[in-house]
């Protein structure tokens, strides 16, 4: 079972992703801030990280830089409400796997995870 680390400071987003991803058969680990996310990254060795950018104290760009300092190939999907093209350019330069705006289709997220994990998701379990 693939393990996904969700790093997002918004409780509703964490709860929604936790429910949806578990329904897909993923193991889900949740972090409510960047510091906790880095700690869980080191402890849990997730297959994919879903990372918000706008968080207090330790933002997503800083978290991504820390992760890239350890592993250049770790799949990281940015899931954010920040539609600033400069921010997107900055994280793409750091090698993110995908940049998805919050509010986008959940099918996009499901397909991205499937591609990154190279594991088929049964049609009956597709994110709605």
pLDDT by residue (tens digit) across 40-64? 999 999 999 999 999 988 999 999 9
Domains, the chain, with CATH or none: 1-75+85-95 (3.40.50.2300)
Separation of alpha carbons 13 and 81, rounded Å: 11
Inform me whether the pLDDT recorded for 120 exceeds 50.
no
Separation of alpha carbons 86 and 103, rounded Å: 20
pLDDT by residue (tens digit) across 55-104? 988 999 999 999 999 999 999 999 998 888 999 999 999 999 999 999 88
**In degrees rounded to 5, what are phi and psi of residue 10?**
-95, 115
Query: How far is the CA of 106 from the CAs of 16, 17, 80, 103, in angstroms?
Result: 11, 10, 13, 8
8 Å CB contact between 17 and 50? yes
């Amino acid at each position: 079972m693939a393990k996904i680390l969700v790093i997002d400071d918004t409780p509703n987003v964490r709860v929604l992703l936790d429910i949806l991803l578990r329904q897909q058969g993923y193991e889900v680990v949740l972090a409510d801030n960047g510091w906790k996310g880095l700690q869980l990254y080191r402890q849990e060795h997730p297959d994919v990280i879903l990372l918000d950018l706008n968080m207090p104290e330790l933002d997503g760009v800083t978290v991504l830089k820390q992760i890239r300092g350890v592993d250049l190939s770790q799949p990281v999907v940015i899931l954010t409400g920040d539609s600033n093209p400069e921010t997107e350019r900055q994280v793409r330069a750091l090698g993110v796997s995908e940049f998805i705006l919050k509010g986008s289709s959940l099918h996009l997220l499901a397909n991205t995870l499937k591609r990154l994990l190279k594991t088929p998701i049964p049609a009956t379990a597709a994110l709605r």
